[in-house]
Amino acid sequence: MLSFLNALPGAMSQGLIWGIMAIGVYITYKILDIADLTVDGSFCTGGAVFVMLFSGGANVWAAMLAALLAGMLAGLVTGLLNTQCGIPAILAGILTQLGLYSVNMAIMDFKASVAINVTQADTLEKLLVSLRFVQGAIRGDFPLWRHPILVVGLFTVGLIALLYGFFGTELGCALRATGSNGSMARAQGIDTDFCKVLGLMISNGLVALSGALLCQYNGANEINVGRGAIVIGLAAVIIGQVLFSKLFHNFALKLLAVAIGAILYYIVIQAVLAVGLNPNYLKLLSALVVAVFLSLPYWKGKYFHAKVKTGGASHA
């Protein structure tokens, strides 16, 4: 129990970082109604671009902006494959993800892992988030405002505010209409192909930004860091939807629910690890969590509503 409590701040910090990635998944999965598998590659792309630029002396904000743009470029490729080449979205994402493995290796100078030298005090001070800030801020080694929960929390709130403002514009509404009913959107004169490409770019840009933050947090980027990212993103989206759908109706609150879902996911993972689960089973556990939460609406509709209907007929 003590080990779990000690690890809880770190789990919440990671949950917030992955929550930004989950918001990107939400845009494609829930708004555009597209199953985009590009994220497994673009997540690593963001970390790769960041670690190489930052290690080369670039400003942390410039490196994060470059990571965001690299992710958007990956989304652009997937979008063009889908809209201009007629490749189904899920296959387009797989193709882009496959190609990104080689691209990410090339970015990292064909090294499987590239580290940030966080042992140097000046380098550590330049980072926005770091694992060392988690306990260091509590012990007083760093200012409390450097704690990743506070930093990434404020970052997430600002990001949600930006997305809320964008999706309230004419272009944002067109993007939402494209995912809601593409045929009707086209009938209203909306360029649905453009909206799909734009949505994929925004989504993967956020995913890459999350990868850049996780790279800072871990102090390194590995070529396989994004493997299974789509599962974690879906888990956060589904958990947030199942737990908060009746409470959060505002679009901004729905995005917040996704971030909370990511935090809850990582808390559950940490709790399971605390009881002694072999870490090699984490991928299986993640798949089971997603499967269960995806099944809940179906079970609820099939069994709960069926009983209500049967009871009403009997009463009549």
DSSP of 85-103, one letter per residue?
S---HHHHHHHHHHHHHHH
In the chain, the percentage of residues whose pLDDT exceeds 90 is: 67
The mean pLDDT value for 292-312 works out to 69
pLDDT at 53 (0 to 100): 97
The band of 305, judged by pLDDT with boundaries at 50, 70 and 90, is low
Q: Report CA dihedral (289, 293, 295, 296) to the nearest 10 degrees.
A: 140
- 98-110: b or e for each residue (b if 16 or more CB lie within 10 Å)? eebbebbeebbee
Average pLDDT over residues 26-33: 94
What percent of the chain has pLDDT above 70?
Answer: 95
Instruction: State the chain's mean pLDDT as an integer.
Output: 90
pLDDT at 167 over 50: yes
Domains of the chain: 2-303 (1.10.3470)
Scored b (16 or more CB within 10 A) or e, 293-305 reads beeeeeeeeeeee
pLDDT at 121: 76
Q: What is the pLDDT of residue 156?
A: 96
pLDDT at 307: 55
DSSP letters for the chain: -HHHHHHHHHHHHHHHHHHHHHHHHHIIIIIS-----THHHHHHHHHHHHHHHHHTT--HHHHHHHHHHHHHHHHHHHHHHHHTS---HHHHHHHHHHHHHHHHHHHTTT-SEEE--TTSHHHHHH-S--HHHHHHHHHTSS-GGG-HHHHHHHHHHHHHHHHHHHTTSHHHHHHHHHHH-HHHHHHTT--HHHHHHHHHHHHHHHHHHHHHHHHHHHTEEETTTTTTHHHHHHHHHHHHHHHHTTT--SHHHHHHHHHHHHHHHHHHHHHHHHTT--GGGHHHHHHHHHHHHHHHHHHIIIIIHHHHHHHHHHH-
Express each pLDDT in 205-247 by its tens digit: 999 999 999 999 999 999 999 988 998 999 899 899 888 988 8
Mean of the pLDDT values across residues 25-43? 94
Q: Looking at residues 81-104, what average pLDDT do you find?
A: 96
Please state which of the ranges 130-144, 197-211, 212-226 shows the lowest mean pLDDT. 130-144
156 burial (CB, 10 Å; 0-12 / 13-18 / 19+) is buried
Banded pLDDT at 316 (limits 50, 70, 90) = very low
Q: Is pLDDT at 314 greater than 60 in this prediction?
A: no
Tell me the two tokens of residue 139: 């012990």
Check residues 143 and 19 and name the one with the higher pLDDT: 19
Does residue 143 register a pLDDT over 90? no
Res 171: pLDDT: 96
Q: Is the pLDDT of residue 311 over 60?
A: no
